Amino acid sequence: MPTDRPSPSDLQAGPDAVARLERAVQELASAGDLAIPPYPAVALRVQQLMARTDFGLAEVAHLVGSDAVLAADVLRCASSAIYGRGGPVTNLTQAITRVGAQQVLRLVVASSLGVHAQAPGPLAALRRAVWIEGLAGAAICQELARVRLLRQEEAFLLGLLHDFGKIVACASLESLLAGGRLDGTWRPEDLAEAVERQHVQLGMATAARWRLPALVRQVIESHHGAGAGSCEAPALLDVVRVSDEVVGLLMRQSQVSAVDLVPVKPLAGLPERDAVARVVEKVPEFVAAFERPEPPAARSPWLAAPASILEPGARPVRFDVTVSLARRVRRYAAEAVGERALAMTGHEPLPEGQLVEATLHSPPEPFRIWALARRSRPHGGAFQVELQPFALKGTERVFWRHLLGGAA
């Protein structure tokens, strides 16, 4: 098992490391060797079917049902809090009727891309985080487009696709690592910085390979820029930029309420902040609907351990924690809690970057939260794991505050 602390001679770190990673990816791009997956075949067939004026729901259900993974994802999404209106759906025709054929197409694209985003590999943790951001961005874009009377179907796909270049960057770096073209051990934060710097270029290359519409290419190119002059739908570009700010908050802190959204200036007052805050609370279940079979938790020998997110002076605690991942329960013992993290130990690691559902068996009563597994490392024959609460809502926030202020 790789050590948590590679020797200084092996560790690649800092601006020079980021520059080296960038050069390697640029060389791949120049050679035409980027790890760009094919456009989802079933999604393309569904698009072609729905381009007809006489398509039927049974035809859409048949196409989606031809892929068992897609069908399961669509059923779970249609039953999730974002679309749930009544009990769980049990068949694809019912799911399509509930959410609409156009929405099913968007879910098919998301599910198909999730296969690549959640594939095993040295940078699986980074890819998982990027994928969660993409799904969250899609849901937020769709809701904000609804409030602003914009095209929701386009907003969802723009939110999902505008940062997909990060997935391509991760896959390309993995091919370089596996091929021995990047020697040494790399800090996760430097890899993430290189991915961030290259994702627009690689997103544009992906859009060209997939022959995506001009609007998608324009948003990929402009979503970090100051202006929107070259975008044919500047209002949708603004929605994507707002979603990026909200997703940034979501990934950094335990909750995103309407109050937390006050600094996001492009949001037009309380109605928009309330609408976005409500959909943020539904994001964890939406992400979980696309869960793949249990991912490997082993750390790559090319990666240094991520830094701890547990604050100095965290409060000691002692209670049991059960974690549900890929429909299997694991047991841990909580040891310390801070504003951003819960530290615990157990006999199994958790995949870093993974979204999990955890039950905290803490006085005065157990409560459940969604959380990101931020750090998982071997320690004394067991594993120390740090969980970051994700999109806490309602009573979850009350219980979490009680946990921070309660007796050890």
**Among the listed residues 240, 283, 280, the one whose alpha carbon sits nearest the alpha carbon of residue 260:** 280
Task: Quick: pLDDT tens for 211-259.
Answer: 998 999 999 999 987 555 588 999 999 999 999 999 999 999 999 999 9
pLDDT by residue, tens only, the chain of 408 residues: 344 444 444 788 888 999 999 999 999 999 888 889 888 888 888 888 887 878 888 888 888 888 888 888 888 888 887 876 667 778 888 888 888 888 888 888 888 888 888 888 889 889 999 999 999 999 999 999 999 999 998 999 999 999 999 999 999 999 998 888 888 899 999 999 999 999 999 999 999 999 998 999 999 999 987 555 588 999 999 999 999 999 999 999 999 999 999 999 899 889 999 999 999 999 999 898 888 766 666 667 888 888 999 998 899 999 999 998 877 899 999 999 999 999 999 999 998 989 999 999 998 899 999 999 999 999 888 999 999 999 999 889 999 999 988 544
Task: Determine, yes or no, domain membership for 392.
Answer: yes
Q: Are residues 161 and 242 in the same domain?
A: yes
Q: Are residues 133 and 211 in the same domain?
A: yes
For 148, list phi and psi in degrees, rounded to 5: -90, 5
- How would you write 335-371 as a 3-class SS string? EEECCCCEEEEECCCCCCCCEEEEEEECCCCCEEEEE
Amino acid at site 92: L
Instruction: Tell me how far apart the alpha carbons of residues 371 and 324 are, in angstroms, rounded to a whole number.
Output: 11
Query: Which residues lie closer than 8 Å to 200 by C-beta, 6 or more apart?
Result: 165, 220, 221, 224
**What tokens appear for 212 in the block?**
């995506």
Task: Determine, yes or no, domain membership for 310.
Answer: no
Amino acid at site 56: G
Q: Are residues 290 and 147 in the same domain?
A: yes
Task: Determine, yes or no, domain membership for 152.
Answer: yes
Task: Determine, yes or no, domain membership for 289.
Answer: yes
pTM above the 0.85 mark? yes
Provide the sign of the torsion angle of the four alpha carbons 362, 364, 368, 369, taken in this order.
negative
CATH no. for residue 226? 1.10.3210
Domain end call among 284, 305, 326? 305
Which residue in this structure is represented by tokens 């039953």?
Answer: 79
Please say whether the beta carbons of 143 and 276 come within 8 A.
yes
Q: Are residues 253 and 390 in the same domain?
A: no
Q: Which letter does DSSP use for residue 306 in this model?
A: P
For 245, list phi and psi in degrees, rounded to 5: -65, -45
Domain end call among 117, 133, 167? 117
344 forms beta bridges with: 334, 385
Task: Determine, yes or no, domain membership for 321.
Answer: yes
Q: Range of 131's domain?
A: 1-32+122-305
For 8, list phi and psi in degrees, rounded to 5: -55, -30
Instruction: Tell me how far apart the alpha carbons of residues 39 and 47 are, in angstroms, rounded to a whole number.
Output: 12
Q: Which letter does DSSP use for residue 35 in this model?
A: -
Q: Are residues 272 and 174 in the same domain?
A: yes
Q: Are residues 257 and 167 in the same domain?
A: yes
Q: Are residues 338 and 247 in the same domain?
A: no
Amino acid at site 283: V
For residue 159, what pLDDT is reported? 94
> What is the DSSP pairing of strand 11-12 with strand 185-186?
parallel
Domain end call among 267, 286, 305? 305
Task: Quick: pLDDT tens for 348-398.
Answer: 999 898 999 999 999 889 999 999 999 999 988 899 999 999 999 988 999
Q: Are residues 128 and 251 in the same domain?
A: yes
Instruction: Tell me how far apart the alpha carbons of residues 99 and 251 are, in angstroms, rounded to a whole number.
Output: 27
Domain count, the chain: 3
Say whether the peptide bond before residue 366 is cis (omega within 30 degrees of 0).
no
CATH no. for residue 342? 2.40.10.220
Query: Which residues lie closer than 8 Å to 372 by C-beta, 6 or more apart?
Result: 129, 132, 251, 353, 354, 355, 356, 387, 388, 390
